[in-house]
Structure 1
Amino acid sequence: MIIKILGSGCKKCIALGENAKAAADAAGISAEIVKVTDFAQIAAYGVMSTPALVIDEKVVSAGKVLSVSEVAEQLAAI
């Protein structure tokens, strides 16, 4: 599973990345966390506000920091 964090690298982006890693670890999911900071790549996903969370190339959240439990819900839905 590949989890991408789209954003500039700000505090919110870092927090979302940490929450995504914690959720994957808690669920026992082996996931690669990738940070995407290039705005052209971010725009290619149709994301206009960051941070955004992409799981296996599907945008599941944009413009907010999901909690660990919210990320876990998204992981379970994939």
Structure 2
Amino acid sequence: MQIKILGMGCTNCKKLEKNVKQAVKEMNVDAEVIKVENMKDIMAYGVMRTPAVVINEKVKAFGKVCTVEDVKKLIEDEK
């Protein structure tokens, strides 16, 4: 599984990255977590508000900081 965090490095983006990594750890999921900070790459996903979560190349959430529990649900939906 590949999980991308889209964001330019703001406080909310860093918080989301931390929550994603925590969810992956708690669920013991084999996932590669990638931070995408290039605006051109972010816009390629059609995301206009960051931070955003992309799982297996599907945009799952954007414009908010998902909690650890929110991220777990998104991961479950992709299993």
CA distance in 1, matches of 2:21, 2:37: 18
* Equivalent in the alignment of 2:68: 68
Identity %: 46
Q: 2:34 matched to which residue of 1?
A: 34
Cα shift at 1:32: 1.1
- TM score, norm. by length of structure 1: 0.97
Structure 1, gaps ≥5 residues long: none
2-side partners of 1:77 and 1:38: how far apart?
Answer: 27
Helix, strand or coil for the counterpart of 1:59?
A: strand
How many pairs are equivalent?
78
Length-normalised TM-score, structure 2: 0.96
Q: Deviations 1:12-62 (Å, cap 9, x if unpaired)?
A: 001101100111111110111111011111000000000000011010000
The match for 2:25 is: 25
Rounded to whole Å, the distance in 1 between the matches of 2:14 and 2:31 is 16
Question: Distance between the aligned counterparts of 1:76 and 1:10, measured in 2?
Answer: 27
Please tell me the residue identity of whatever aligns with 1:72: K
Residue 50 of structure 2 aligns with which residue?
A: 50
